[in-house]
């Protein structure tokens, strides 16, 4: 079900054009990843989707209420605020209130029934593992816990769509994964997610749809697999352990049907003429010669690679 | 309403949990009012250091100094030069110098000069010095003047009593003169009335001679007739001729006696026998028949002598009468002169009596300026209390309004609030309510503390609290407006303090409002501080009812409503701008952090 649609949306601040001609359709249950370099307009796009900003051109329409048909997101924001959750880049809660007080404060302001609110809070505290910290002042929480509290505050009223701007910023990799796992759980409960981040590896794992923003334009958007297709690789990479005889590997590879071997220190990127014959021959020779192969990467192009390719091309 | 309560509760929690805010918001006003209460809960005089220079510190100067010390002035003596004292004013060791003349006693028409040296840069202190010391020296001046006037009045009074004395004596002299004049006049009249003329016919001696010549023949002729009658009776045959003869014999005897008397015969015996009349015997009692004529002669002589004497007496009387007339004239003139003198003395006395002012105190200071307090006489705290209350409430409300708005604007949750299903006015009202709740607590605390010092005005504290809350509303909205207008908390706070100071400076609390320019003065009357202070003063000091203060209350309510509308409209118009700015700021901060992290890696 279509929730939000961006039709030829452009946004400029004065003479400074930030975005132009953005066309995206957000459907219920999607996890959208908005990726782009710093200053590419990711946050502006999120703000347009969330209805905080009014587009300079085009329109952002929402269909939260099916019976009413699509309506301008910005103009009708006051009517659908309870359907939207927004977790900005920075934590957005009161540091001088406890975890529970923050959740209660924001939840109560959404006029939820007391029981519903209590259930929501209980569920969120468990999911974010903040239950044992519920009476701590928010400012006394660790960075990861603060981020989880921020997400909990954004979800306390059970929105249909949650917009997240760099939810994993300033967090270590473990916490980043935790957050992403949490978001995946949230999505499973029916919340549509729109995430802007530059942690592409994590985005790749969580998002089913991606929009790549570069120089004020959305270059690719839609299902990740669809985006990946034009970027499928014709090469594979082997990684060697330090001290391994790289020359020996290169000489073996040259006996196989390869077009080009690119030497990148511990990594060798091989462009085969026939990927199957080349890989089979390589593995046989490694076994015969009793060599040690640290890693063999024959995967599809990563989002990072796709992003790199797109941004370098442009 | 639920949202308002939730937001207000949240604001209060945030304020309380911010230690500094809690300290400022709750304890600062308490501390201020306690300090001021302790400082100004007195009616004693100002602790001014007064430098006194006098060429000689006489008993009179020492007495003056003692009276100044009684009023809690600290006195510093300068014996060498007044310049030392002036130097100390510049150094701030003394507040004013008083240069006294050699003596305070006034003994000539020359005025004594008391010089005050003050530092005009301390303008309010100058007024205090002028008020208090000026009054003290005026009293001394009056005292001297009273002494001088007393001397004058005493002389006048003395003169008056002497005049009274003189007037009495003059009156007595006049009366005596008048009596003398009257007596002289009377004597004159009596003298004049004396008839000393000698009637020529009555007292003519010839008559005596004539009488002497004619009386004897007639008596003899009558005697002859009686003798003939006796002879005739004897000759007649009348039966009762004895009785007739007896009577005739008696007549004959009488005539004989008379003849003897007149002619000098045997009349003396007859007279001594008492047969003649009394009138005749008084003249001739000692005369013999021959002496009667002699007596007549003597009489005649006597008459002549008497005539001479009477003439002389008449002359003397005439002369005396003339003198008496002259004396009377003089006496009358003297009386007239005395009357004039008496009149003049009377006029002088009347003139002196007409002087109603006879008291030296009144004469030396006919106009006594007495400041009558229109309110109950109390300590300085009572007079300062309205201004103090408004001052505390103004600064608290202004700062709270600004702080709360700034707190919200700079809070990490500012952006999230945008997505809350609440009207923008709700946030404005909740901020206002938070300020009001805190102000209410403060006002209650302040009034409770004040109640210790202001026991006589307890009844007024409740309406005062009401007015303070209304004032607080105005200042809260002003503070909130400042909060919305400024970006950083520091500039906002500074602007609040500046606004408060500005309102304070054009309120008449620091300097009298009358000293500022007329243009600003007219604007100052619209100053909410002035209005609030005026209302509280009226309630607190004069027990004014609602009927007396409603225009001010309406004005304050109008300010409150006007500011609320302005803030809501402004908030509606610029809220998104604030959030964009907030987001941009956070975004930039985040990027900078990212860069720093990368560089560190």
Is the pLDDT assigned to residue B267 strictly greater than 50?
Answer: no
C-alpha distances out from residue B111 to A262, A290, B9, B499, Å: 117, 130, 74, 51
Is the pLDDT assigned to residue A250 strictly greater than 60?
Answer: yes
Is the pLDDT assigned to residue B42 strictly greater than 60?
Answer: no
Joined together, the tokens standing for residue B413 give 């949750």
CB-CB neighbors (< 8 A) of B415 in chain A: 86, 88, 92
Q: Specify burial of residue B51 (Cβ count, 10 A radius: 0-12, 13-18, 19+).
A: buried
CB-CB neighbors (< 8 A) of B583 in chain A: 43, 47, 88
**Sequence-distant (≥ 6) Cβ neighbours of residue A217 within 8 angstroms:** A19, A20, A21, A22
A86/B419 Cβ within 8 A:
yes
Q: Are A192 and A176 in contact (CB under 8 A)?
A: no
**pLDDT at B281 (0 to 100):** 37
Instruction: Give the nearest chain A residue to B7 (CA atoms).
Output: A105
**pLDDT at A194 (0 to 100):** 92
* Interface contact B2, partner A, CB < 8 A: yes
A96/B14 Cβ within 8 A:
yes
Which of the four pLDDT bands, split at 50, 70 and 90, describes residue B520? Answer: confident
CA atoms within 13 A on the CB side of B387: 17
A111/B421 Cβ within 8 A:
yes
**Which candidate from A88, A93, A110 shows the least CB-CB separation from B421?**
A110
Tell me which residue of A6, A45, A2, A42 sits closest to A24, measured CA to CA: A6
Q: What is the pLDDT of residues B117-127, one digit of tens each?
A: 877 766 566 66
Pick from A27-36, B15-24, B394-403: least confident: B15-24
Tell me which residue of B482, B506, B504 sits closest to B493, measured CA to CA: B482
Joined together, the tokens standing for residue B176 give 């005596």
Instruction: Give the nearest chain B residue to A51 (CA atoms).
Output: B419
Q: What is the pLDDT of residues A260-306, one digit of tens each?
A: 888 888 888 888 888 888 888 888 888 888 888 888 887 677 788 88
Q: Are A170 and A131 in contact (CB under 8 A)?
A: no
Pairing of strands B49-53, B96-99: parallel
Longest dimension (CA), chain A: 73
Q: Are A168 and A175 in contact (CB under 8 A)?
A: yes
DSSP A274: S
Higher pLDDT, B188 or B203: B188
CB-CB neighbors (< 8 A) of A170 in chain B: 590, 593, 597
Would residue A41 be called left, alpha or beta, if left means φ above 0 and alpha means ψ between -120 and 50 degrees? left
* Interface contact B579, partner A, CB < 8 A: yes
Reduced DSSP (H G I as helix, E B as strand, rest coil) percent helix, strand, coil of chain B, to 5 = 75, 5, 20
Cα B473 to chain center, whole Å? 51
Instruction: Give the nearest chain A residue to B3 (CA atoms).
Output: A109
Beta bridge partners of A269: A237, A262
Joined together, the tokens standing for residue B387 give 């201004």
**Sequence-distant (≥ 6) Cβ neighbours of residue B63 within 8 angstroms:** none
To the nearest 10°, the Cα dihedral for B435, B441, B445, B447? 80
**pLDDT at B47 (0 to 100):** 62
Distance from the Cα of B381 to chain A's closest Cα (Å) equals: 39
Joined together, the tokens standing for residue B151 give 């001397």
Instruction: Give the nearest chain A residue to B411 (CA atoms).
Output: A94
**pLDDT at B288 (0 to 100):** 47
**Sequence-distant (≥ 6) Cβ neighbours of residue A266 within 8 angstroms:** A239, A240, A241, A242, A246, A294
Q: What is the pLDDT of residues B429-482, one digit of tens each?
A: 888 888 888 888 877 877 777 676 666 666 677 788 888 888 888 998 899 888
Is the pLDDT assigned to residue B409 strictly greater than 50?
Answer: yes
Tell me which residue of A64, A73, A151 sits closest to A106, measured CA to CA: A151
* Interface contact B422, partner A, CB < 8 A: yes
Which of the four pLDDT bands, split at 50, 70 and 90, describes residue A100? Answer: very high
Average pLDDT, chain B: 76
Is the pLDDT assigned to residue B286 strictly greater than 50?
Answer: no
To the nearest 10°, the Cα dihedral for B451, B456, B460, B465? -10
**Residue keyed to tokens 């010089």:** B115
DSSP A255: T
CB-CB neighbors (< 8 A) of A52 in chain B: 418-419, 576, 579
What percent of chain B has a predicted confidence (pLDDT) above 70? 74
Q: What is the pTM of this model?
A: 0.62
Is the pLDDT assigned to residue B109 strictly greater than 80?
Answer: no
**Which candidate from B10, B416, B590 shows the least CB-CB separation from A89?**
B590
Q: Residue B464 and residue B455: Cα distance in Å, rounded?
A: 15
CB-CB neighbors (< 8 A) of A149 in chain B: none
Q: Residue B263 and residue B284: Cα distance in Å, rounded?
A: 13
C-alpha distances out from residue A125 to A156, B288, B598, Å: 10, 187, 33
Is the pLDDT assigned to residue B283 strictly greater than 50?
Answer: no
Tell me which residue of A111, A161, A102 sits closest to A130, measured CA to CA: A102
* Interface contact B593, partner A, CB < 8 A: yes
Average pLDDT over residues B205-232: 80
Mutate to test the interface with A, among B421, B593, B594 (most CBs of A within 10 A): B421
List of E strands, chain A: 2-13, 16-27, 31-36, 57-62, 71-72, 84-87, 161-165, 192-196, 209-214, 217-223, 236-239, 258-264, 267-272, 295-297
**Which candidate from A92, A110, A170 shows the least CB-CB separation from B413?**
A92
Q: Are B389 and B460 in contact (CB under 8 A)?
A: no
Q: Are B497 and B399 in contact (CB under 8 A)?
A: yes
Mutate to test the interface with A, among B419, B420, B583, B595 (most CBs of A within 10 A): B419
Q: What is the pLDDT of residues A160-190, one digit of tens each?
A: 899 998 888 777 788 888 888 888 888 898 8
Higher pLDDT, B508 or B184: B184
The helices-and-strands tally (H runs, E runs) of chain B is 20, 4
Q: Residue A47 and residue A74: Cα distance in Å, rounded?
A: 10
Distance from the Cα of A91 to chain B's closest Cα (Å) equals: 6
Helix (H) or strand (E) holding B224: helix B205-235
Pick from B186-200, B475-489, B524-538: least confident: B186-200
A93/B415 Cβ within 8 A:
no
Q: What is the pLDDT of residues B548-600, one digit of tens each?
A: 778 888 888 999 899 888 888 887 777 667 666 666 666 667 667 666 766 66
Q: Residue B596 and residue B601: Cα distance in Å, rounded?
A: 9
CB-CB neighbors (< 8 A) of A194 in chain B: none
Beta bridge partners of A86: A163
C-alpha distances out from residue A261 to A154, A241, A302, Å: 50, 18, 20
**Sequence-distant (≥ 6) Cβ neighbours of residue B341 within 8 angstroms:** B170
Distance from the Cα of B589 to chain A's closest Cα (Å) equals: 9
Distance from the Cα of A131 to chain B's closest Cα (Å) equals: 21
CB-CB neighbors (< 8 A) of A108 in chain B: 2, 6
Higher pLDDT, A233 or A130: A130
């Amino acid at each position: 079900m279509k929730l939000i649609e961006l039709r030829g949306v452009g946004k400029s601040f004065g003479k400074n054009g930030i975005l132009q001609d953005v066309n995206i359709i957000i459907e219920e249950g999607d996890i959208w990843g908005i990726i782009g370099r710093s200053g590419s307009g990711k946050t502006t796009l999120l703000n347009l989707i969330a209805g905080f900003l009014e587009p300079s051109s085009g329109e952002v329409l929402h269909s939260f209420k099916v019976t009413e048909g699509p309506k301008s997101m910005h103009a009708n924001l006051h009517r659908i605020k309870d359907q939207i959750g927004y977790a900005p880049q920075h934590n957005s809660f009161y540091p001088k209130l406890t975890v529970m007080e923050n959740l209660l404060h924001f939840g109560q302001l959404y006029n939820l029934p007391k029981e519903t609110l209590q259930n929501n809070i209980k569920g969120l505290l468990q999911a974010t593992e903040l239950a044992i910290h519920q009476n701590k002042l928010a400012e006394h929480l660790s960075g990861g816990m603060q981020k989880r509290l921020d997400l909990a505050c954004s979800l306390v009223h059970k929105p249909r769509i949650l917009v997240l701007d760099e939810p994993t910023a300033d967090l270590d990799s473990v916490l980043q994964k935790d957050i992403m796992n949490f978001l995946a759980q949230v999505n499973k409960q029916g919340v549509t997610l729109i995430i802007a981040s530059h942690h592409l590896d994590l985005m790749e794992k969580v998002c089913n749809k991606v929009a790549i923003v570069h120089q004020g334009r959305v270059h690719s958007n839609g299902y990740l697999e669809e985006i990946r297709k034009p970027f499928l690789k014709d090469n594979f990479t082997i990684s060697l352990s330090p001290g391994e005889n790289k020359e020996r590997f290169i000489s073996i590879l040259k006996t196989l049907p390869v077009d080009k071997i690119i030497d990148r220190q511990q990594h060798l990127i091989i462009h085969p003429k026939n990927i199957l014959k080349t890989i089979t021959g390589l593995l046989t020779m490694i076994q015969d010669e009793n060599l040690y192969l640290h890693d063999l990467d024959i995967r599809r192009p990563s989002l990072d690679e796709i992003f790199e390719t797109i941004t370098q091309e442009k | 309403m639920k949202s308002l309560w939730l937001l207000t509760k949240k604001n209060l929690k945030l304020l309380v949990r911010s230690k500094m805010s809690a300290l400022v918001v709750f304890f600062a006003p308490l501390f201020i009012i306690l300090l001021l209460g302790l400082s100004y809960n007195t009616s004693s005089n100002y602790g001014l250091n007064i430098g006194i220079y006098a060429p000689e510190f006489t008993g009179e100067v020492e007495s003056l100094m003692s009276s100044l010390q009684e009023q809690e002035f600290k006195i510093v003596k300068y014996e060498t030069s007044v310049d030392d004292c002036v130097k100390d004013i510049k150094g701030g060791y003394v507040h004013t110098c008083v240069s006294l003349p050699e003596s305070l006693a006034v003994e000539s028409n020359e005025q004594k000069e008391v010089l005050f040296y003050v530092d005009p840069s301390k303008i309010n202190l100058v007024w205090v010095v002028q008020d208090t010391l000026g009054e003290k020296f005026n009293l001394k001046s009056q005292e001297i003047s009273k002494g001088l006037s007393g001397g004058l009045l005493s002389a006048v009074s003395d003169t008056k009593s002497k005049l009274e004395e003189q007037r009495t004596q003059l009156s007595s002299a006049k009366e005596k003169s008048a009596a003398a004049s009257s007596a002289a006049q009377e004597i004159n009249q009596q003298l004049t009335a004396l008839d000393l003329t000698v009637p020529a016919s009555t007292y003519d001696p010839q008559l005596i001679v004539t009488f002497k010549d004619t009386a004897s023949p007639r008596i003899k002729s009558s005697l002859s007739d009686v003798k003939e009658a006796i002879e005739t009776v004897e000759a007649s045959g009348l039966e009762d001729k004895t009785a007739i003869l007896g009577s005739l014999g008696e007549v004959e005897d009488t005539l004989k006696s008379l003849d003897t008397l007149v002619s000098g015969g045997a009349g003396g015996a007859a007279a001594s026998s008492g047969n003649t009349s009394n009138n005749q015997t008084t003249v001739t009692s000692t005369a013999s028949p021959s002496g009667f004529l002699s007596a007549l002669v003597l009489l005649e002589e006597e008459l002549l002598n008497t005539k001479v004497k009477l003439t002389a007496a008449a002359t003397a009387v005439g002369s005396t009468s003339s003198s008496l007339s002259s004396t009377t004239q003089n006496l009358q003139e003297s009386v007239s002169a005395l009357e004039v003198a008496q009149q003049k003395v009377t006029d002088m006395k009347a003139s002196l009596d007409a002087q109603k002012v006879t008291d030296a105190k009144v004469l030396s200071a006919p106009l006594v300026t007495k400041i009558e307090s229109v309110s109950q006489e109390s300590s300085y705290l009572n007079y300062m209390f309205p201004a103090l209350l408004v001052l505390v409430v103004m600064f608290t409300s202004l700062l709270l309004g600004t702080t709360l708005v700034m707190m919200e604007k700079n809070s990490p949750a500012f952006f999230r609030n945008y997505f809350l299903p609440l009207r923008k006015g709700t946030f404005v009202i909740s901020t206002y309510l938070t300020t009001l709740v805190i102000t209410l607590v403060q006002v209650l605390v302040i009034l409770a503390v004040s109640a210790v010092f202001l026991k006589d005005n307890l009844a007024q504290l409740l309406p005062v609290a009401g007015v303070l809350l209304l004032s607080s509303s105005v200042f809260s909205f002003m503070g909130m407006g400042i909060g919305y207008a400024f970006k950083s908390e520091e500039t906002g706070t500074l602007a609040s303090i500046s606004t408060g100071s500005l309102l304070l400076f054009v309120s008449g609390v620091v300097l009298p409002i009358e000293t500022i320019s007329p243009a600003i003065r007219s604007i100052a009357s619209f100053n909410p501080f002035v209005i609030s202070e005026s209302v509280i003063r009226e309630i607190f000091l004069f027990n004014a009812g609602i009927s007396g203060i409603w225009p001010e209350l309406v004005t304050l309510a109008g300010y409150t409503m006007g500011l609320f509308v302005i803030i809501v409209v402004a908030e509606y118009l610029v809220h998104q701008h604030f959030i964009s700015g907030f987001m941009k700021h956070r975004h930039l901060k985040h990027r900078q952090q990212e860069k720093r992290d990368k560089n560190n890696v």
